[in-house]
Amino acid sequence: MDSILLRNVRLGDSTMDVAIEGGYFTQIGPDLTLQTDTVIDGRGKAIIPPFFNAHTHAAMTLLRGYADDMELHTWLTRHIWPLEAKITAQDVYIGTKLACLEMIKSGTVFFNDMYWHLPATARAVEEMGLRAALSSVFIDFNDPETADRRWQECLELHAFSRDLPSRITFALGPHAIYSVSRDSLCRARDFARQHGLLIHLHVSETAKEVEDCQHKHGCRPVRYLDQLGLLGPNLIACHAIWLSQDEMDLLAENRITVVHNPVSNLKLGSGTFAYRALQDRGVRIALGTDGCSSNNNLDMLETMKFASLLAKGSTQDPTVFPAPQAFAAATGNGAAAFGLNSGDIAPGRLADCLLVDLDSPQLTPDHSLVSNLVYSAGGECVNTVICNGRILMRDRRVEGEEEIMAQAREAARRLVRS
């Protein structure tokens, strides 16, 4: 890895030099005297932690705008799943490269993904230089034969993941309680415990999911997961909109990370996230974009703003989910949820960071950088992206971006017409 020296960047309220070597921040201070492979002039720029997208389906970039303006179950069963049945590994590779490009351009260095053809996703992530937790979609619809086939695939993918770079990890991805059998959920529980894996699961995303669970199992979804022994610190519970007070207590007691996806929730009309109630209980809340077919972008800056404003509007309280908490949810909370020594600019931490352009109109004037980032900034304010000590974008240029977009356009046309 090349060594990097960032000169005269704003860090907090000070101007500092920041040294990177071996994928870590090594020194921070004024006027450092070091010889490095690369020197970046950071005047007029601030260094901040990058964003961690805690829930998405990256290759769905190819479906951006394909099936809009409908509720979740109609959207999934009549449009998305039939089209995904035709998607190839090459499509996933191309779509994920486009997703990585979009995330780099808007300051995201890590994403938690659930999608088909995991090796193709891993190949794209490895080439683009990001971090990721990857899980393959596990759906069996209570069919034992399908479940056995999916579990064999899971075992093969787990073996495959051992050869991936350390910045790419394997997780289990049971889709949801309505699409995965009780037996398969229990197998996921046991396999995760045996191998120390995270479980990436959609939880209580819609009122229909809750009603169906009560009808089928006699309890609400979080209580059902508790009965199965699935609640624990390794569960990443995505959406978690339709929660009772009792279920919120269970999430807190079991140290669950909840991923709030405000833009997707609003677009699908799924419901309103109870931020204040979960925050008051000490539940760790991270942010995610969801996939590009239900958002329709991967911009975590936009996600921060939506998350904060939705909390304020739904409670009619402008003090709820203030900018520093929204920023933490998009940065440090996500890093912590996935066990990453990242999310802060300090010696000994992984060298993941952004340089934002303080001369951007959206960051002017500069009464509060964090407030500006949450409420006014867009991806165009991100000038430079560094992940694992490697420069992925400098002066808003990413290597090969035109080719990536051209390939994605062609793949999307071919997929929809097939």
Q: Which of 61-75, 323-337, 361-375 has the lowest mean pLDDT?
A: 61-75
pLDDT band (50, 70, 90) for residue 304 = very high
Residue 105, both tokens: 């351009």
pLDDT, residue 417, reads 87
CA distances (Å), origin 390, targets 23, 24, 25, 28, 70: 7, 10, 12, 18, 41
Cα(331)–Cα(327) distance, integer angstroms? 6
pLDDT, residue 310, reads 98
For residue 76, the SS3 value is helix
DSSP 172: B
What is the sign, positive or negative, of the torsion defined by CA atoms of 204, 211, 77, 136?
positive
Closest CA to 327 of 52, 24, 34, 20: 52
For residue 202, the SS3 value is strand
CA distances (Å), origin 45, targets 16, 40, 311, 368, 395: 11, 11, 30, 14, 11
Given a contact cutoff of 8 angstroms between Cβ atoms, the answer to whether 61 and 289 are in contact is: no
- Asked if 4-49+349-401 and 51-337 have one fold, the answer is no
**148-195 tens-digit pLDDT:** 999 999 999 999 999 999 999 999 999 999 999 999 999 999 999 999
Q: Please, what is the average pLDDT of the chain?
A: 97
318-327 mean pLDDT: 98
Name residues whose C-beta falls within 8 Å of residue 220's C-beta, 6 or more positions apart in sequence.
204, 210, 213, 214, 244, 247
Q: Which of 17-21, 48-52, 72-76, 235-239 has the lowest mean pLDDT?
A: 72-76
Cα(95)–Cα(89) distance, integer angstroms? 10
Put simply, whether the predicted model's pTM sits higher than 0.85 gets the answer yes
Listing DSSP states for 334-367 in one string gives HHHHTT-S-SS-STTSB--EEEEETTSGGG-S-S
Name residues whose C-beta falls within 8 Å of residue 210's C-beta, 6 or more positions apart in sequence.
204, 220, 221, 242
CA distances (Å), origin 151, targets 342, 364, 398: 32, 53, 38
Cα(195)–Cα(167) distance, integer angstroms? 18
Identify the CATH number of the domain defined by range 4-49+349-401: 2.30.40.10
51-337 maps to CATH 3.20.20.140: yes
Residue 76, both tokens: 């999934």
**190-225 tens-digit pLDDT:** 999 999 999 999 999 999 999 999 999 999 999 999
pLDDT, residue 70, reads 87
For the chain, percent helix, then strand, then coil, each to nearest 5? 45, 20, 35
Q: Which residues of 348-376 are buried (b: 16+ CB within 10 A; e: fewer)?
A: ebbbbbbbbbbebeebeeeeebbbbbbbe
Listing DSSP states for 122-169 in one string gives HHHHHHHT-EEEEEEEE--TT-HHHHHHHHHHHHHHHHHHTTS-TTEE
pLDDT, residue 2, reads 87
For residue 317, the SS3 value is coil
Residue type at 216 in one-letter notation: K
393-400 mean pLDDT: 98
62-67 mean pLDDT: 92
Preceding omega of 347 cis (within 30 degrees of 0): no
Q: List the chain domain ranges.
A: 4-49+349-401, 51-337
CA distances (Å), origin 377, targets 78, 103, 311: 36, 15, 19
**74-129 tens-digit pLDDT:** 988 998 989 989 999 999 999 999 999 999 999 999 999 999 999 999 999 999 99
